[in-house]
Amino acid sequence: MDTLLQCLPMIFFLLLTFPQPIYGKIGTSVQYGPPFAPTACYGNDLSQFSSGTLFAAAGDEIWDNGAACGRRYMLECISAPLPGTWIVPGRVIQVKIIDRARMTVSPASKDRTTIVLSDFVFALIANTTATDIFIDYKEYA
């Protein structure tokens, strides 16, 4: 059991680096930075930021009157509207919705987007100087 626990970080890293096509819906994503709390889903509960949780805020397209809270989405950056923007093609990440994009404490880099990623998560799939990116996403059960 201890060996398995020691291997978990490596397994997590490998899952993040191997390309896995999603073929879900196409949307847009932007980023936001701290402070992240309070959130529309969990208020000031700090457990929502537990180690290893990649989190995001839901745009109106997926908010679903708050039903998006706790949903997990698989997504990957497929391109950026600004030519020359560095992206990581094929890198698939899983995020948990913990907030509503219109209500984040720290404003998003752009309005009207599908999913707003924390700045750390955004940096995993695109250059943080990008204002927005196009994503392929689907809900992950």
Contact 135, 77 (CB under 8 A): yes
Q: Name the maximum alpha-carbon separation found in the chain.
A: 48
Write the pLDDT tens digit of every residue in 14-39. Answer: 455 544 555 689 999 999 989 999 99
Taking the model in full, what pTM does it have?
0.80
Distance CA 56, CA 7 (A): 26
In this predicted structure, the answer to whether residue 107 has a pLDDT above a threshold of 80 is no
Give residue 103's pLDDT band: very low, low, confident or very high (50, 70, 90): confident
**Helix or strand or coil: residue 121?**
helix
- More confident of the two residues 128 and 7: 128
Q: Does CATH number 2.40.40.10 belong to domain 2-140?
A: yes
Q: What percent of the chain has pLDDT over 70?
A: 83
Residues 36-48, buried b or exposed e (16+ Cβ, 10 A)?
beebbbbeeeeeb
Contact 108, 32 (CB under 8 A): yes
Tokens representing 4?
Answer: 């398995």
